[in-house]
Amino acid sequence: MPQPAQEPPLRMPVRSSSRPCTPPRRSPACSSPSSRSDSCSGTGCARGSSSRSARPEPAPSSASTMGWMCSPCGHWSPPPPQTCGRRPPGRPTHGAWPIPPTSRVSRPSSCAPGACGCLETSPAIPRSPDASSVHRVTTTGPDSPSSSPGAETDAPPSTALPSSTRTAESVAARGIGAFLDALEAHPDIEPHSLMLLRHGRVIAQGWWAPFTPSRLHHVYSVSKTFTVSALGFAVDEGLVGLDDTVISHFPEFADEITTPRSRAIRIRDLAAMAAGHREDMYAPALETDPLEPVRGFLLHEPDEEPGSVFAYSQPCTYTIAAIIQRASGQTLTDYLRPRMFDPLGIGAAVWREYPAGRQVGFAGLHVTTEAIAKLGLLHLQDGVWEGEQVLPVGWAAEVRQRRVSTGADESDDWEQGYGFQVWQARHGYRGDGASGQFCVILPEQDVVLAVTAGTYAMRAMLEAAWEHLLPAVDAPTSDADDATLETRLGALALPSLEGAAAPAEADGWAGSFYLTGAEDARLRTASVAEDDGAWRIELTDVAGKTLRVPVLGTGWTTIEAVDGLPPVAVTGGWVDDELLRIDISFLETPHRITLSLRRESRRAVARWLTEPLLVAPDDAGIFGLQAPR
């Protein structure tokens, strides 16, 4: 079945100069000019400083390297020698809007890649057959997102879910292996992690290196299912009522919101994505009032009576989140911490804010894959956790109940109806987020599937689950199949690019390149720099911040977050004398960018695996591709 097309990008509103929006609070990092003074004393720099305050830390694998990068100046101290080595019209975007393109170059199907100055695609990029080697350069702290700025510094550590064998829980290992085969064989799916639970126990889990179990990951619209869990607590505590009108919680707007349909929107309508509008109102709401999107939303009269029609609209969830935070006096994460996160043993969780102090609710949540699995298990068990009622009694049933029709195609998992911030499916129900984030709940099979990925082929991912995982439930398995699967799960890795760490001929490579095909407005410039034989690529975004990454050739190198830099993994190098190709994976998101730089033409072609979506207007730039810090 052909995959649905992505929604055309929407242009975000230009803020009124008379009502300036609060600027981003994140402090700039790596914004100094690319030229470096030998006297640079940046943290961890090998020059101009007698000590490296950022010490190297070897990767916890048999193949490791160490090295340092100066965040302000980009000087790279190379490692020593190794010692061991979807969406048609009317379909949702699941979490936000693509950043508006300033210019876009698309490639006709008849065009040879790169021949006409268009987007350069590379379906046959050479990949290393040995993709298991992941080197890590740690510029601050250990490999733990919870220890980095932006994570909840007072959050307790995560507690692991109980595990069991596939034999004990009656799931065939061969079916799980076939599901992995389908994900890895699909040309448009880049899997990042997977956890499969049955009878409340983990029976299969794996992370494709360079992704790791402790890494926070942007789950996009799976955030909505966390938000509706918070709504259950707020209803149970009497802070809000499902039949409350939105305007009753924003009385300051009562004199302005005079249209009857806007005044009639109830919280239950928001939870069911049935406010009455026929399209997503996020961009119109921000255009109307960039400082208070709830007001901007209410100023747009619904097309139909609230509760009567479905439209996947981000302001519905945003408004629920705003009401909960106003009524409780806490952010969503603070509100959920003692009620759900701590009882479930969910560690660090961070949420994008807009405006400052208000977590957006509809997307922007960064949690681990295990947190997604725990959320699904809590709902599967009707809110009970380890014998204790965590969610209010009956709330899980309220959430999964079909509230509104989303279409009539019985073969389409997006047209089976919608509950409270969850999709009904041909099998069970789910929360899902842009670019392949899933929390699939299968009550009939007593199964939860949590997946993170980078893909537009979300339908294909569900098809693979139905085709391979469902028949594996209550099917016989064997010790040999179990052993094979366990070995495979422990060695999952994304393929790396092949390439050399330095060009055979250095002349003509250093300097700026003309950047094309970036598919969005996050990037502004690209350049190549060399220092004492160590090469790096420098990318400057629309906010004027520069990301500097080393070119180290074949294999993945992980560079942890420091001074506002997003954590990334890098692979690739010089393919030949004229072509430098590198992949940069933004590890706290589903997104990876491929850069192809050609010496003779001085062109740098950028292509996103999946286009980053704009969660908040102050989210632009590649430095926004990380958990909030």
CA separation for the pair 585, 591 (Å, rounded): 6
Cβ atoms of 429 and 413 closer than 8 Å: no
How do beta strands 603-608 and 613-614 pair? unpaired
Domains 159-215+368-492 and 220-366 equal at CATH topology level: yes
pLDDT band at 522 (very low <50, low <70, confident <90, very high): confident
Q: What is the pLDDT of residues 287-328, one digit of tens each?
A: 999 999 999 999 999 999 999 999 999 999 999 999 999 999
Q: Which residues, including other chains, have CB under 8 Å from residue 188's CB and lie 6 or more apart?
A: 3, 455, 456, 457, 460
CA separation for the pair 109, 94 (Å, rounded): 28
146 or 193: which leads in pLDDT: 193
Cis status, amide bond into 210, omega within 30 of 0: yes
Residue 38 pLDDT exceeds 50? no
pLDDT reported for residue 586: 97
Cβ atoms of 204 and 176 closer than 8 Å: yes
**393-401 contact pairs (CB < 8 A, 24+):** 395/229, 395/232, 395/235, 395/236, 398/232, 399/225, 399/228, 399/229, 399/232, 400/424, 400/429, 400/441, 400/443
Lookup: tokens for 349: 């969780």
pLDDT band at 579 (very low <50, low <70, confident <90, very high): very high
Residues in the chain: 629
Q: What is the pLDDT of residues 439-498, one digit of tens each?
A: 999 999 999 999 999 999 999 999 999 999 999 999 999 999 999 999 999 999 999 999
pLDDT reported for residue 73: 35
Give the architecture-level CATH label for domain 159-215+368-492.
3-Layer(aba) Sandwich (3.40)
Residue ranges covered by each domain of the chain: 68-78+102-107+126-147+495-624, 159-215+368-492, 220-366
pLDDT reported for residue 626: 94
pLDDT reported for residue 155: 78
pLDDT reported for residue 42: 35
Average pLDDT in the 563-586 region? 95
Cβ atoms of 518 and 97 closer than 8 Å: no
Average pLDDT in the 206-224 region? 98
Element (H, E) at 270: helix 267-271
User: What is the value of pTM for the model shown?
Assistant: 0.80
pLDDT reported for residue 108: 29
Among 299, 359, 323, smallest CA distance to 249 is for: 323
Beta-sheet strands, E only, within 267-405? 350-351, 365-367, 384-385, 388-389
Q: Which residues, including other chains, have CB under 8 Å from residue 593's CB and lie 6 or more apart?
A: 583, 584, 586, 606, 607, 608, 609
Beta-sheet strands, E only, within 414-489? 423-424, 429-433, 437-442, 447-455
CA separation for the pair 501, 574 (Å, rounded): 7
Radius of gyration of the chain (CA): 24
User: Letter for the amino acid at 18?
Assistant: S
Cβ atoms of 63 and 552 closer than 8 Å: no
pLDDT band at 115 (very low <50, low <70, confident <90, very high): very low
Strand partners, 135: 557
CA separation for the pair 188, 453 (Å, rounded): 10
Domain covering 220-366, topology = Beta-lactamase (3.40.710)
pLDDT reported for residue 154: 67
CA separation for the pair 46, 152 (Å, rounded): 32
Q: DSSP character for 601? A: T
Residue 56 pLDDT exceeds 90? no
Residue with structure tokens 């242009």? Answer: 11
CA separation for the pair 513, 602 (Å, rounded): 5
pLDDT band at 620 (very low <50, low <70, confident <90, very high): confident
Among 538, 568, 534, 564, smallest CA distance to 552 is for: 534
pLDDT reported for residue 45: 38
Residue with structure tokens 């969830």? Answer: 317
Mean pLDDT for all residues in the chain:
81
Residue 44 pLDDT exceeds 70? no
Residue 373 pLDDT exceeds 80? yes
Lookup: tokens for 490: 């422990």
pLDDT reported for residue 499: 96
Residue with structure tokens 């704009």? Answer: 614
- Helix, strand or coil for residue 593? strand
Cβ atoms of 352 and 625 closer than 8 Å: no
Cβ atoms of 348 and 152 closer than 8 Å: yes
Average pLDDT in the 176-188 region? 98
pLDDT band at 241 (very low <50, low <70, confident <90, very high): very high
Average pLDDT in the 83-111 region? 33
Average pLDDT in the 498-521 region? 88
pLDDT reported for residue 563: 78
Among 97, 130, 90, 191, smallest CA distance to 437 is for: 191
Cβ atoms of 326 and 249 closer than 8 Å: yes
Residue 68 pLDDT exceeds 60? no
Lookup: tokens for 55: 């010490």
- Helix, strand or coil for residue 447? strand
- Helix, strand or coil for residue 266? strand
CA separation for the pair 122, 453 (Å, rounded): 20
Q: DSSP character for 465? A: I
